[in-house]
């Protein structure tokens, strides 16, 4: 993993240094706060690890500099990883970085998640992206086997109102774990109780996830 991380950092601080994909430039900090932070939930949460290992498709929303999508894709080359990013340039660059790192199982798109119809069973990840109450309702799940996981900080309950989503979502994971150099992390897991109500026209206007794989 460290060899992968070094190649990744070399690209971010070298060829792509002008894109502002990360403010971290030292290997130790990059490895801890970007790479380990992306994959540590696999060790901390059996629910998360089982979900990743059982699914065939993982969707990462708002991946920024490629986290957690690229570290997870490196660990699971047999899975398909699809990333959605609101900033076109970052989506393009992270796709290039994935290819330079030899990750053939990654596709990055300039799309907002609310424009996507999740017409496959998927696991969706969010890291450093908005709030649960803002983003959970944007997920257009059509399969009740789909799950969403949010990487959060230790003050999650003070800053966010998770109760606001409990009508339509079942909380399946609330896991606190340590990360060196931080005050800790939380992983919040949700499972949809219902398929969102949409008109036929609204569903038709969405982009099928299956068309992007």
4 φ/ψ angles, rounded to the nearest 5 degrees:
-60, -45
Q: Output the CA torsion sign for 61, 65, 66, 67.
A: negative
| 62 labelled binding-site residue | yes
CB-based burial label for 163 (10 Å; 0-12, 13-18, 19+): exposed
173 marked among binding-site residues:
no
124 marked ligand binding residue = no
Q: How far apart are CA 196 and CA 205, in angstroms?
A: 14
User: 100, exposed or middle or buried, with CB in 10 Å at 0-12, 13-18, 19+?
Assistant: middle
CB atoms within 10 A of CB 141: 23
Per the annotation, does 127 bind a ligand?
yes
Establish how many alpha carbons lie within 13 A of residue 172's alpha carbon, considering only the half-sphere containing its beta carbon. Answer: 22
Check whether 153 is labelled as a binding-site residue. no
Neighbours of 9 (CB within 10 A): 20
Indicate the annotated binding residues: 62, 67, 113-114, 127
Annotation: binding site for S-adenosyl-L-methionine? 62, 67, 113-114, 127
């Amino acid at each position: 993993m460290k060899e992968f991380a070094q190649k990744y950092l070399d690209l971010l601080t070298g060829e792509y240094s002008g894109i502002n994909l990360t403010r971290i430039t030292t290997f130790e900090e990059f490895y801890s706060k970007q790479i380990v932070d992306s994959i540590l939930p696999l060790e901390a949460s059996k629910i998360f690890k089982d979900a990743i290992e059982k699914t065939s498709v993982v969707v990462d929303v708002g991946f920024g500099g490629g986290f957690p999508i690229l570290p997870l894709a490196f660990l699971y080359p047999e899975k398909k990883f699809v990333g959605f990013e609101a900033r076109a340039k970052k989506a393009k660059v992270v796709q290039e970085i994935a290819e330079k790192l030899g990750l053939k199982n990654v596709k990055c798109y300039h799309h907002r998640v609310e424009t996507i119809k999740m017409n496959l069973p998927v696991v969706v990840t969010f890291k450093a992206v908005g709030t649960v109450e803002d983003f959970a309702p944007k997920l257009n799940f059509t399969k009740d086997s789909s799950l969403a996981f949010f990487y959060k900080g230790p003050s999650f309950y003070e800053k966010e109102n998770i109760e606001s989503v409990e009508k339509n979502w079942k909380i399946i994971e609330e896991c606190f774990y340590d990360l060196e150099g931080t005050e800790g992390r939380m992983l919040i897991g949700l499972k949809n109780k219902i398929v969102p109500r949409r008109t036929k026209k609204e569903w038709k206007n969405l982009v099928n996830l299956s068309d992007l794989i």
